[in-house]
Amino acid sequence: MHTTLTAHVGKDVFVRPSPVAMVWQGPGTRHQAMAVPGVTLGSGDVLVEVELATVCGSDVHTVLGHREAATPLVLGHEQVGRVVAVGGPVTAMDGTLLVAGMRVVWSVVVSCGVCDRCSADLQQTCRRRATYGHDRVHRGWELSGGFATHVELLEGTAIVIVGETPPAAVFAPASCATATAIAALDAAGRDLTGTAVLVTGAGMLGLTVTAIATDAGARVVVSDPDPARRSLAGRFGAVATVDPAAGEAEHLDLARLAAGVEGFPVALEVSGEVSGIDAAIGALSIGGTAVLVGSESPGAPLGIDAERIVRGLLTVRGVHDSRPRDLQRAVDFLTGAWRRYPFAELVGAEFALDDVDEALVAAASGAFPRVGVRP
């Protein structure tokens, strides 16, 4: 959508035609378009025009009613856009002063930076956080999610400037999928050079983790039941892929054989399936670390024998969302890596903003790692 900034007096911003956000009222309802004729920016706020949003798996879980959501809600938290107006001097993560026209991505969470959780470097759990695409829409912050022509970025949002050359499909998933992949590998807590890494699940997150770990020098083996995703994993750097349908013991033997190791020092679980969690922990070598990322909605309890963790001196960590610096690293990674790995191909279909319900159906089908919504 082409928009023209017609006035910017003080902190009131008027965009013509009016910004539009798609509002979701709960499972079984269709989105409704909501026009937002005027936006009042605080001194740390930024109005951004969305170039492309992508549908995250958590958006799908929400509309299917698999997770709690505060409605009415503007969904969407993965997107790339352009600065339209700033409420005052606002800087990007790299210290650059933001001005209209800059192409940017932004964090999923708005954090305060001073509460106990922010101080503990857990900004994604900030006690005063606001979350794009997750918070109930309310007067004064209607443009609160990515399924909209514009988003109002609040003070405390980590904003990262991105390059002009890579397609929007490369950068749109940065704020959630790519930044989470960075955080997950960080949580493994070791130098990945020459390290054998098992990744269970070859969706958007698994493929991204595979490419980042491969770039860091790891030998990555990917486990996924879908042959098309296994072949895609090879294009994202996996040295081998295995099919969990072969049986847990058998497919882990194949994975170890492919990596030439007795066990994996690092396993990243991104499928969210109990079988994937069992495999990730079962595949570890002595002293290994399993990072669980995929279990984002309520699932079955695990049946892990604690003796395996104790005698194996294993570490099991959970990672959810990411911190501001993870987003900066995600953009730094994508800026070079999009030419080496087919990130632009992961957005398999695009829909107009009015067709966001159809986009969510397409995303739920699992046919593509990501589906795009283009205003």
Task: Confirm or reject binding of residue 181 to Zn ion (CB under 5 A).
Answer: no
C-alpha distance from residue 7 to each of 70, 72, 144, 334 (Å): 33, 29, 22, 35
Considering the complex, state which of residue 58 and residue 241 has its C-beta at the smaller distance from Zn ion.
Answer: 58
- Scanning 169-177, 271-279, 283-291, 331-339 for contacts with Zn ion by CB under 5 A, the matching segment is 169-177
The residue among 10, 43, 45, 208 whose CA lies nearest residue 132 is 45
Considering the complex, state which of residue 103 and residue 117 has its C-beta at the smaller distance from Zn ion.
Answer: 117
- Scanning 68-76, 113-121, 246-254, 295-303 for contacts with Zn ion by CB under 5 A, the matching segment is 113-121
Q: Before 173, cis peptide (omega within 30)? A: no
| CB of residue 77 to Zn ion, shortest distance in Å | 6
Considering the complex, state which of residue 92 and residue 176 has its C-beta at the smaller distance from Zn ion.
Answer: 176
Considering the complex, state which of residue 111 and residue 195 has its C-beta at the smaller distance from Zn ion.
Answer: 111
| CB of residue 266 to Zn ion, shortest distance in Å | 23
Q: Taking a C-beta distance cutoff of 8 angstroms, is the pair 265, 288 a contact?
A: yes
| CB of residue 128 to Zn ion, shortest distance in Å | 5
Task: Confirm or reject binding of residue 115 to Zn ion (CB under 5 A).
Answer: yes
Beta strands in the chain (DSSP E): 4-9, 12-16, 20-23, 32-35, 38-40, 46-54, 78-86, 103-110, 130-131, 150-153, 157-161, 196-200, 219-223, 240-242, 264-269, 284-292, 315-318, 347-352, 370-374
Task: Confirm or reject binding of residue 154 to Zn ion (CB under 5 A).
Answer: no
Exposed/middle/buried for residue 261 (C-beta within 10 Å: 0-12, 13-18, 19+): middle
- Scanning 20-28, 103-111, 338-346, 350-358 for contacts with Zn ion by CB under 5 A, the matching segment is 103-111
| CB of residue 321 to Zn ion, shortest distance in Å | 8
Query: How many residues bind to Zn ion according to rule CB under 5 A?
Result: 8
Considering the complex, state which of residue 47 and residue 110 has its C-beta at the smaller distance from Zn ion.
Answer: 110
DSSP string across 4-62: EEEEEETTEEEEESPPEEEEB-STTPPPEEEE--EEE--TT-EEEEEEEEE--HHHHHH
Considering the complex, state which of residue 108 and residue 162 has its C-beta at the smaller distance from Zn ion.
Answer: 108
Q: Taking a C-beta distance cutoff of 8 angstroms, is the pair 19, 150 a contact?
A: yes
Task: Confirm or reject binding of residue 183 to Zn ion (CB under 5 A).
Answer: no
Task: Confirm or reject binding of residue 118 to Zn ion (CB under 5 A).
Answer: yes
Considering the complex, state which of residue 178 and residue 195 has its C-beta at the smaller distance from Zn ion.
Answer: 178
| CB of residue 294 to Zn ion, shortest distance in Å | 12
Considering the complex, state which of residue 9 and residue 120 has its C-beta at the smaller distance from Zn ion.
Answer: 120
| CB of residue 284 to Zn ion, shortest distance in Å | 27
Task: Confirm or reject binding of residue 56 to Zn ion (CB under 5 A).
Answer: yes
Cβ neighbors of 38 (< 8 A, separation 6 or more) are 12, 13, 14
Report the number of secondary-structure helices (H) and strands (E) in the chain.
Answer: 11, 19
| CB of residue 344 to Zn ion, shortest distance in Å | 19
Q: Which position among 176, 196, 255, 316 is part of the footprint of Zn ion (CB under 5 A)?
A: 176
Q: Taking a C-beta distance cutoff of 8 angstroms, is the pair 48, 19 a contact?
A: no
Chain positions contacting Zn ion, by CB under 5 A: 56, 58, 111-112, 115, 118, 126, 176
